[in-house]
Amino acid sequence: MTLGQAREDFTLMLGKLIVWANEQGYRLRIGAVLEQEGHKENSNHYIGLAADMPVFKPGAQEQDLEAHRRMHDCWDSLGGAPRIEKDLNHYSVKWAGRW
């Protein structure tokens, strides 16, 4: 699989996750899909294989961690990379052993 094909798969998976989350009533704020800095070295954010998607309960300032846990269950079923407990808004796929 090429990186381009992986990005196509990731994009489709992310779309499915967003639709599923919307059906649950979650309001997402997609970000950091293709950045050049601000993440760890060799981050999948730099190659278009990771997104950060904060989700908040209406009117709340802190993120909805229960929503993230359910979204990661969905992400797992789509073949996404494992969740990072201290960074639950991070959704990615594995590439060269990284996510």
Footprint on this chain of Zn ion (rule: CB under 5 A) = 52, 90
d(CA 16, CA 78): 8
User: Positive or negative CA dihedral for 95, 6, 89, 31?
Assistant: positive
Give residue number: closest CB to Zn ion. 90
CB of 26 or CB of 43, closer to Zn ion: 43
Residues 6 or more apart whose CB falls under 8 angstroms from that of 6 comprise 49, 93, 95
How far apart are CB 7 and Zn ion at their closest, in Å?
A: 16
Environment class of 46 (CB within 10 Å of its CB; exposed 0-12, middle 13-18, buried 19+): middle
How far apart are CB 32 and Zn ion at their closest, in Å?
A: 6
How far apart are CB 90 and Zn ion at their closest, in Å?
A: 3
How far apart are CB 29 and Zn ion at their closest, in Å?
A: 13
CB of 72 or CB of 90, closer to Zn ion: 90
Sequence letter at residue 64 = D
CB of 83 or CB of 90, closer to Zn ion: 90
CB of 25 or CB of 78, closer to Zn ion: 78
Task: Note whether 67 and 55 are within 8 A (CB).
Answer: yes
